Structure 1
Amino acid sequence: MWPELLNLEFLNNRLSDYLLAVTLFLAGIIIIQVFKRIFFGRAGQWVKKTASTFDDFLLKSLRRRLIPLLYFAALYLGFAVLSLNPLGAKILRTAGGVILVYYSVSFLLDAAGYGLESYFLKKEDQARKSILSVFLIGIKVVAWGIALLVLLDNFGVKISGLLTGLGIGGVAVAFAAQAVLADLFSYFTIFFDRPFEIDDFIVVGEYRGTVEYIGMKTTRLRSLGGEQIVFSNTDLTNSRVQNYKRMKERRISFRIGVTYDTPPAQLQEIPELITGIIKGIEGTRFDRAHFIEYGEYSLLFEVVYYVLSGNYVQYADIQQRINLAIKEEFTRRGIKFALPTRTLLMEKENHQA
């Protein structure tokens, strides 16, 4: 009785084939459940002990993308033992291709999103987060478009005409909006390369100011005079930009001149005097002080030191302290600063009548 029952056919398959398909599917479900419990359970305990966020992302993404794919693989394995008609086999292959592409692209997009956010959002920045979200949407559109074309091609749809039309349309749009696209690509260059950020003080050619806004077409500075300076992003990427906000220390060089009648003993004291003044000020690193040359109307001393900060106000405060201290010491020692002077020698001529 049982052999006859098992040999009963329905839709070109025996009852035993259906039982085998169900058995394989249920076995796959059981194996997946055991795998989830063991692997994800132990992995979850392990990632809690690490400081990195990458393992947390990887575990979460695998749970979201891999497990549904394994469930479909168990279902596919069950159907694989059945004799399906051509339409059923095609539907199964199509569904398999669609699901495989969907979860593969989804995993790659998750990885791309995590990588970009980890690199560009190291500090909380709402504007940067909004821009990155727009950029990720663009990546998703391109990725899903490519995935769709690959699927259509595998399903026998001729996409050469579609690709040709898209190519011609893309060239026409790019030609018509080349200035806008140039600024847009320059914006992404600024976004990814980060030569400057909001609140950085930069100098571009003869213009200088604090960055107020970085847009997809223009970047705006607030100058020292108060007016707003607007640059196209292409102008900025094609220019040399000096970013003073990222200056770690400032090198300062200045000269002072004393009169030619200053005694040699005092000339020897001046470098030591200036060295002591600068070394006594916190936030500086002394480099050198030398009697450097004979000037047109003064004996010139050159001084070089570093301010251990890029802050301009701090530099100005330190330079003021140095100048006042030099003036005080020179006054106390009777050393005179040189002023622009000229000596005229006049010769009298005797005229005999």
Structure 2
Amino acid sequence: MWYALTRVFPGFRALALVLSTLPFATMAAEPGDWTGVWDTQWRGGGAVMELQQDGNQVVGTYPGFRGEVEGRIDGSELAGKWSDAAGEGVFIFVMSPDQQSFMGRFGTGEWWTGVRTDKKIQETLFGKLDASSAELTLLSFLKAGNQAGEGRSDRLGVVFQLLDFSAFDDSLTPYDRIDLARLLFQIVDRLTFRVWELRPNGDLSGAEEYTVNLTQAGTNLPYSLTFRPGEPTNGTGSEPWRIVVPPEAEMREALEALLDNYDGAVPHPRKHHELASPRDTMRTFLEQWNNARNGKRELFLKTMDLSQIAAAVREDEGFLLGEYLIEVLYRIGLPLRQEIPDDPNRQAAYTHFVHPAGTIEIQPVGQEDGSFRWQFSAETMASARQLFMAMEDMPLAQVEQRRESTPFFEIRNNARSIHRDLLQEAGAGVEVWQWIALALLLVISIPLSWVFTWIVAQIFQLKKSDENHSLSAKVRFLWPLRLILIAGLGLLALRTLGLPQAVDIPLRVFIGVTLSIAGGWLAYHLVDKVSEMLDAHSHSNHRYRDEILRSLATSIAKLAVVIGAILFLAEILSIPYQGVIAGLGIGGLAVALAARSTLENLIGGITLYADKPVEVGDFCCFGDHLGVIEGIGLRSVKVRSLDQSVITVPNAEFVNLNIENLTRRDRMLLQTTIGFRYETSPDQLRWLLAEIRKLLLRHPMVTPEPARARFAGFGNHSVDIEIFAYVKTSDFNKFFGVREDIFLRLIDIVEESGTTFAFPSTVNYLAQDSGVDSERTMRIEEIMRELRHGQKLPFPEFDLQTRTELRDSLDYPPEGSVDSGGGGNAKS
């Protein structure tokens, strides 16, 4: 891609030259430091490898397979040849940027990875092998096998000196021997026994063999393991004891019988994570401790029954109790997993250690899904701290297996180094140094919280009082913020101080209650504050448009805050609210029926927001009412009627009404019917129709389409003309003014036509009645005859030229009116 860019854009070529001269451009090309010990793995095996680098040349060995490597470095890449008892080939390793691991390939593409270790190869690979007795030989073999089970097959290669392969010929390669050693280990791993119980009753001096009978937990299947003395080594004169490796066919038959209890297959390397036996639980507990220290606590916590600890503090308290238990096991001596029963069908609890201060016991515990899981019992976890205190001065049994301490034990050890009396209990099981730490916490957190809230008040300009609230900003924001800060620091301190449960749990509950109340109070008022800010920043012309959304969001947020605070409080107090929530599924129907109208109104409010038929400030007609929308809430709509009263309509009812939003009109309809006396002649009627149409076309406030005036028919007392037109306004006041102007002009037209308006009455023709004006009638009829002879009658419509000439030619407002401005020409 870079090459293509430099070809298309020559400027990139110059940029590439500049970048190549920068310091970071050459860093990747510098060779990495391969010197050291690497713990490597490949498919189905692994080996500890020691490399030595000299310039660009690297040589190394992996003694477990009598292997050697040599290669050349090119940047971060190491390529070369390997050879061992299985053969030889080429390899390529690429070091990671942090130089702590590498990825590699060998052979036909098999992977080969490694990670750097700080230990020397002798410590990592060989350890301490003791074959001075049968039980110590077996102990060394089991330790190597337990490590090899993690994929480091060369761990078994180093114990060849502990095994007697006399049943096989000399053609065995190291890989063959490792396969046989692994097969033997898989057999022994299925058995349960105490190594110290293998010690013979008598003296074995001069004995040619020593056989022990081992059994499988649960099935009691026997297996005999034979030991033979070997030739003295290192001039000590002592005879090392070796385990006799039986023929392969015999071992496979024995393994097949032992695997019947495990569905006929060797368990997966991570099968013990299912905690199906005491051995699985102990093994997982010890393996996962380091992961738990790094924050991955889930599997570690599963090994312990923490049901007696409040759910809100279960993780932190469980981790602390697990740390106490680990410290106790370090002092007892970490057990071999083969010494712990692994019968998946076992029912009775397994007791690992007994002390007056407590017992370490693993038992099956029922889970929520109906299954059982082996866990350290609740009683064991409750006594873990007392066990540690009772055994604290006991030296570690296996110093080389001791892991790095957590902050709690580091602080405690520092306090111990200052003065032993700081570890004395000073009431409620709390040690002196812990009381001092709690006091320092208060001394520091209180002024710190005051300073912090002062800074917040300055940044956000929180005033002492607010006209919109009866409570001051201190009460609404600053005080709860102080409590949250103090409680938060206290919670962090409790996770480090390791207080006894009798004090730790009440303090955690108190802190949790404080956080629940203060946090809920603060969040509740923050919702109001955010709502006010959104309202203040809304545009004036759209101020009320989304008020319903703000109202809904504010109410829902407040409800969520209250429910969240209550649930958190229930969690802290270990109230089984889950059952109550589940019960709502059954009682929800009854609640829904009881609150049906409320829910309908809530849904109606959401519908009003989504559909937006009206908004606050709109003038609308709904049902038999007219009015302006003043508010839309969760339950109802408030309307200011024409008589200035407030009508409250439930949302559910309002959305089902025929709502006419008058504010959203772009014009208003003018429609009326005018009746004329029956004495009106047809030509007079034609003249009236023409003049009215001219009026509508000429008026600037009337839309030309579909403005019309039509002879509508014969009424009981009149001949009727229907007028239909749209006025160019959405304002009622303007509309009434335009309508008034048109009606007045209509009176002038009717008067000029010589006829008069009809009215529903009986007419008695008296001498004083002028009747129809004959002179004007004749004049109008003459006009219509002229139009007819000239083929200019405007029926059914005016021609296009006339329509164009007449359009908007009237003076509006009319001449002499207040709004005319002294002139009345609409075209001017």
TM-score, with length taken from structure 2: 0.29
Of residues 15, 23, 36, the one that matches 2:453 is 36
| Structure 1 unaligned residues grouped into runs of 5+ | 48-52, 280-284, 340-353
Whole-Å separation in 2 of the counterparts to 1:291 and 1:17: 93
Please report the RMSD computed on the Cα atoms of aligned residues, expressed in angstroms: 5.6
Q: How many residues align?
A: 302
Whole-Å separation in 1 of the counterparts to 2:478 and 2:517: 15
Whole-Å separation in 1 of the counterparts to 2:441 and 2:639: 67
Larger RCO (CA within 8 A; separation ≥ 6): 1
Cα distance, 1:250–1:331 mapped onto 2, change above 3 Å: same
> Where does residue 109 of structure 1 map in the other structure?
524
Cα distance, 1:147–1:216 mapped onto 2, change above 3 Å: closer
Does the CA-based 8 Å contact 1:9-1:15 persist in structure 2? yes
Whole-Å separation in 2 of the counterparts to 1:93 and 1:113: 30
Of residues 492, 497, 500, the one that matches 1:85 is 500
Does the CA-based 8 Å contact 1:69-1:103 persist in structure 2? yes
> Where does residue 65 of structure 1 map in the other structure?
480
Of residues 610, 621, 624, the one that matches 1:202 is 621
Of residues 287, 291, 294, the one that matches 2:703 is 287
Of residues 745, 757, 776, the one that matches 1:325 is 745
Q: Quick one: which amino acid aligns to residue 728 of structure 2?
A: Y
Whole-Å separation in 1 of the counterparts to 2:619 and 2:702: 28
What SS is found at the alignment partner of 1:321? helix
What SS is found at the alignment partner of 2:499? coil
Does the CA-based 8 Å contact 2:487-2:515 persist in structure 1? no
Deviation of 1:85 after TM superposition, in Å, equals 0.9
Whole-Å separation in 1 of the counterparts to 2:448 and 2:650: 59
Does the CA-based 8 Å contact 2:671-2:725 persist in structure 1? yes
Whole-Å separation in 1 of the counterparts to 2:696 and 2:491: 85
Whole-Å separation in 1 of the counterparts to 2:724 and 2:604: 44
Deviations 1:276-302 (A, max 9, x none): 5x44xxxxx442267868757799886
Q: Quick one: which amino acid aligns to residue 203 of structure 1?
A: F
Whole-Å separation in 2 of the counterparts to 1:218 and 1:119: 22
Give identity over the alignment, percent.
18
- Spell out the pairing of 1:181-260 with structure 2 (5 A cutoff): 181=598, 184-185=601-602, 188=605, 195=614, 202-204=621-623, 207-209=624-626, 234-244=652-662, 246=663, 250-254=667-671
Deviation of 1:41 after TM superposition, in Å, equals 2.4
Does the CA-based 8 Å contact 2:667-2:728 persist in structure 1? yes
> Where does residue 198 of structure 2 map in the other structure?
none
Q: Quick one: which amino acid aligns to residue 202 of structure 1?
A: C
Does the CA-based 8 Å contact 2:476-2:522 persist in structure 1? yes
Deviations 1:263-284 (A, max 9, x none): 99998876564455x44xxxxx
Of residues 573, 578, 587, the one that matches 1:169 is 587
Does the CA-based 8 Å contact 2:629-2:639 persist in structure 1? yes
Does the CA-based 8 Å contact 1:202-1:208 persist in structure 2? yes
What SS is found at the alignment partner of 1:32? helix
Report which stretch shifted further, 12-21 or 65-74. Answer: 12-21
Q: Which has the higher helix share?
A: 1
| Structure 2 unaligned residues grouped into runs of 5+ | 1-417, 541-546, 714-719, 759-828
TM-score, with length taken from structure 1: 0.58
Cα distance, 1:299–1:335 mapped onto 2, change above 3 Å: farther
Cα distance, 1:33–1:209 mapped onto 2, change above 3 Å: closer
Does the CA-based 8 Å contact 1:249-1:309 persist in structure 2? no
Does the CA-based 8 Å contact 1:248-1:308 persist in structure 2? yes
Whole-Å separation in 1 of the counterparts to 2:751 and 2:446: 94
What SS is found at the alignment partner of 1:202? strand
Does the CA-based 8 Å contact 1:174-1:181 persist in structure 2? no
Q: Quick one: which amino acid aligns to residue 457 of structure 2?
A: F
Report which stretch shifted further, 253-262 or 144-153. Answer: 253-262
Does the CA-based 8 Å contact 1:183-1:216 persist in structure 2? no
Does the CA-based 8 Å contact 1:149-1:159 persist in structure 2? yes
Deviation of 1:171 after TM superposition, in Å, equals 1.3
Does the CA-based 8 Å contact 2:670-2:725 persist in structure 1? yes
Cα distance, 1:61–1:82 mapped onto 2, change above 3 Å: same
Whole-Å separation in 1 of the counterparts to 2:598 and 2:456: 48
Whole-Å separation in 2 of the counterparts to 1:217 and 1:36: 38
Report which stretch shifted further, 32-41 or 9-18. Answer: 9-18
Deviation of 1:307 after TM superposition, in Å, equals 3.1
Cα distance, 1:189–1:58 mapped onto 2, change above 3 Å: farther
Deviation of 1:20 after TM superposition, in Å, equals 4.1
> Where does residue 347 of structure 1 map in the other structure?
none
Deviations 1:208-254 (A, max 9, x none): 45599999999999999xxxx9987544322321244x356542244
Deviation of 1:94 after TM superposition, in Å, equals 1.9
Does the CA-based 8 Å contact 1:293-1:299 persist in structure 2? yes
Deviation of 1:104 after TM superposition, in Å, equals 3.1
Does the CA-based 8 Å contact 2:697-2:704 persist in structure 1? yes
Whole-Å separation in 1 of the counterparts to 2:746 and 2:504: 94
Q: Quick one: which amino acid aligns to residue 29 of structure 1?
A: I
Cα distance, 1:338–1:296 mapped onto 2, change above 3 Å: farther
Deviation of 1:309 after TM superposition, in Å, equals 0.7
